[in-house]
Amino acid sequence: MNLGPVVAMVWEGLNVVKTGRVLLGETDPADSKPGTIHGDFCIRVGRNITHGSNSVKSAEKEISLWFQPEELVDYKSCAHDWVCE
């Protein structure tokens, strides 16, 4: 995270940590499936282009490193009631 621009985000939703980890792939790109970010775009562990928390507890800690509570915004899409149960 010290080698270039960083875009910090907070994702929320049902099983978001697990789903995010699936999207990213394994920490080691060599173990990541094709179609994941690490599987398609990374070559070494130390050069991964993304980072995702591995648990809700670590996410809470990492979020506090980047954001103040007042910087986090709740957002509800206008389509939420149509697509969420």
pLDDT at 84 over 80: no
Catalytic positions, please? Answer: 51
- The one-letter code for the residue type at 42 is C
Instruction: Give the pLDDT score at 1.
Output: 65
- Model pLDDT for residues 20-43, shown as the tens digit of each residue: 999 999 989 999 999 999 999 998
53 within domain boundaries: yes
CATH number at residue 47: 3.30.70.141
Q: Supply angle C-alpha 62, 78, 85, rounded to 5.
A: 80
Domain assignment of residue 72, given as a range: 16-83
- For residue 58, being part of any structural domain is answered with yes
Among 72, 44, 55, residue whose Cα is nearest residue 20? 55
Measured between alpha carbons, how far is 54 from 15 in angstroms, rounded to an integer? 12
Number of domain units in the chain = 1
In whole angstroms, what is the distance from residue 26 CA to residue 33 CA? Answer: 8
